[in-house]
Amino acid sequence: MNKISCVYLNGEFLPPERAKISAFDRGFIFGDGVYEVIPVFGGRPFRLTHHLSRLERSLSALGIINPLPPEDWEAIFQRLITGHGDADQSIYLQITRGVAERDHSYPENVSPTVFAYAQIMRYPDAATLAKGVSAITLEDIRWQRCDIKAVALLANVMMRQKAVESGSAESILIRDGLLTEGAASNIFIVKNGRLRTPPSNAYILPGITRDLIVELAEANGIQCLQTELTETELMDADEVWMTSSTKEILPVTQLNHKAVGSGVPGPMHAKLYAIYQDYKEAFRQGKVR
């Protein structure tokens, strides 16, 4: 395990082995909570405002009142980050409804459980980036509120495991013949030089990386169409990418054990990957917020 010497739990900074929660926590009993994964570059959380507003949306969908204002979140993150110096990191933040006697409906007068830690970012290595990864397609067996970043991830866990068992890095999910997203990523495709990604709706998580790629593409004169994509369009694509805060923009070069396009990462990936890295570098140097 990545070395974590300090975690935040309910107001305290503790060594991980001292961080304990009740077995009656509704996160444990029902998966009743939400989370965020926030990258850190140059000692600062990346796209923090975006992550905090997605957190707010997830909490409010569950009727949990955000326990802290943005400046307190920032102060907690800053303290966790400091432990790893300047290294690129990711912050994991989880908020559950809290501890109560087991009953499905929301209990009254409980305080949310708040848990957070930072760890060194583990990027896909250079060889993986150069070659791309393989993915399989699966029927999307999740619920109808995939826009909530809920900790109840059993379907995602099962579907990612199927990918691993077939020697692949990710499962790409299809609902009613349409592409939704990956088990833990958003998906982009390129066909005839045109970049496309499924629209933000209840069937996908509004990825912070996804939204940044759309923004950066457009700022650089590359149109990105947010549109419904069929399984056939996915299978016929010249390029397929998976995106997330920890995987960044990873080319998928094998789909269901067949080559995607020419079987190597494509030119549009090279372009957007470079733009993304430049933007990160500018953030690191404090040139963008």
Q: Which is nearer to ligand PDD, 184 or 217 (CB)?
A: 184
Query: How do strand 133-139 and strand 248-255 relate by DSSP bridges?
Result: parallel
* Candidate list 246, 256, 271, 283; residue touching ligand PDD; CB under 6 A: 246
Q: Which is nearer to ligand PDD, 114 or 204 (CB)?
A: 204
Q: How many CB atoms lie within 10 A of CB 55?
A: 20
Taking the complex as a whole, the smallest distance from the CB of residue 170 to ligand PDD amounts, in Å, to 10
Question: In sequence order, what E strands does the chain have?
Answer: 7-9, 12-14, 33-41, 44-45, 89-96, 113-120, 133-139, 170-175, 178-182, 186-191, 194-197, 224-226, 239-244, 248-255, 258-259
- The 8-class DSSP code of residue 202 comes to T
Q: Where does this chain touch ligand PDD (CB under 6 A) — which range of 58-66, 133-141, 179-187, 279-287?
A: 179-187
DSSP string computed for 8-66: EETTEEE-GGG----TTBHHHHH--EEEEEEEEETTEETTHHHHHHHHHHHHHHTTPPP
Instruction: With CB under 6 A as the rule, give the number of residues binding ligand PDD.
Output: 15
113 binds ligand PDD (CB under 6 A): no
Catalytic residue among 3, 20, 131, 149: 149
* Candidate list 14, 21, 37, 152; residue touching ligand PDD; CB under 6 A: 37
Q: Which is nearer to ligand PDD, 209 or 254 (CB)?
A: 209
Place of tokens 């990825």: 207
Given a contact cutoff of 8 angstroms between Cβ atoms, the answer to whether 3 and 67 are in contact is: no
110 binds ligand PDD (CB under 6 A): no
Alpha-carbon distance 182 to 204, whole Å?
A: 9
Question: What number of residues does the chain have?
Answer: 289
* Candidate list 134, 185, 197, 254; residue touching ligand PDD; CB under 6 A: 185
Q: Where does this chain touch ligand PDD (CB under 6 A) — which range of 95-103, 162-170, 201-209, 233-241?
A: 201-209
Q: Is 145 helix (H, G, I), strand (E, B) or coil?
A: coil
Residues 140 to 169: which contact ligand PDD by CB under 6 A?
156
* Candidate list 91, 99, 205, 224; residue touching ligand PDD; CB under 6 A: 205
Is residue 131 part of the annotated active site? The answer reads: no
Residues 206 to 245: which contact ligand PDD by CB under 6 A?
207-210, 243-245
171 binds ligand PDD (CB under 6 A): no
* Candidate list 25, 32, 140, 181; residue touching ligand PDD; CB under 6 A: 181
Given a contact cutoff of 8 angstroms between Cβ atoms, the answer to whether 204 and 242 are in contact is: no
94 binds ligand PDD (CB under 6 A): no
Place of tokens 């409010």: 60
Alpha-carbon distance 120 to 227, whole Å?
A: 35
Contacts with ligand PDD, residue ranges (CB under 6 A):
37, 156, 181, 184-186, 205, 207-210, 243-246
Known catalytic residues are 149
